[in-house]
Amino acid sequence: MIPGLNNAEFARYGVMHRNTYINSPKLLDETYNLKRNHNIYFAGQITGVEGYVESISSGMVAAINAIRKYKGQEKKLFPKETVIGALADYISMPKEHFSPMNANFGILPELPEKIRDKQEKYSKMAKRSMEMIREKLL
Ligand SMILES: Cc1cc2nc3c(=O)[nH]c(=O)nc-3n(C[C@H](O)[C@H](O)[C@H](O)COP(=O)(O)OP(=O)(O)OC[C@H]3O[C@@H](n4cnc5c(N)ncnc54)[C@H](O)[C@@H]3O)c2cc1C
């Protein structure tokens, strides 16, 4: 049925990967806490993060904040310049089309200067991220 593929041979069929997730921008805050019931936290792929490390990061943010809430402490937010913070921001900010997100440089805020070389740009973003962690979290 696809033009140009009429003689194609299929060595192996692919696998459809279904992803079930809630409408986090409406339901969760940036600590993965349910807005309507602050005793409930979500973590993992169900929140709209996608992948192993992403799911772990959401669980870590949720767990740190659940403990802090239990102790009567303020929320602990990872800066948006870190991928962990950017993912938490992505799942909790209102948006028209919400779909699962991997860890990637595209979700980080732009650097103040324009850098064409990708390796240099990403290296600066990573450095900025570490500096923000040292400054805001340690
Ligand atoms: C085919 C495939 C390939 C993938 N490849 C990669 C990859 O290469 N790299 C990568 O980073 N990510 C990959 N992923 C995505 C990755 O697997 C998920 O993002 C990650 O495992 C999500 O972790 P999680 O803990 O949120 O959910 P899950 O790992 O799905 O864990 C949820 C758990 O909850 C249990 N559960 C469900 N309902 C109930 C219930 N009612 N009561 C009790 N327990 C329940 C389930 O049995 C399951 O053990 C892949 C996914 C698929 C499907």
- Per-residue pLDDT band at 1 (split at 50, 70, 90): confident
Average pLDDT over residues 5-13: 88
| Alpha helices (H) along the chain | 24-27, 52-70, 83-92, 118-136
* Domain-wise residue ranges, the chain: 24-136
SS3 at position 45: helix
Name the nearest CA neighbour of 129 among 60, 82, 80, 69: 82
Tens digit of each residue's pLDDT (9 = 90 or more) over 77-95: 999 999 999 999 999 999 9
CB contact set of 32 (below 8 Å; sequence gap of 6+): 24, 41, 42, 43, 47, 58, 61, 62, 65, 88, 91, 92
The residue type of 117 is D
Which residue CA neighbors atom 10 of ligand 1 most closely?
Answer: 51
pLDDT at 111: 97
Against a cut of 0.85, is the pTM above it? yes
Which residue CA neighbors atom 11 of ligand 1 most closely?
Answer: 51
For 116, phi then psi, to 5°, come to -75, -40
* Ligand 1 contact, 48 CB (< 6 A): no
Tens digit of each residue's pLDDT (9 = 90 or more) over 39-59: 999 999 999 999 999 999 999
Fold of 24-136: FAD/NAD(P)-binding domain (3.50.50)
Choosing from 20, 28, 45 the residue with most ligand 1 atoms within 8 A of its CB, the one to mutate for a pocket test is 45
Q: How far is the CA of 56 from the centre of ligand 1 (A)?
A: 11
* Ligand 1 contact, 52 CB (< 6 A): yes
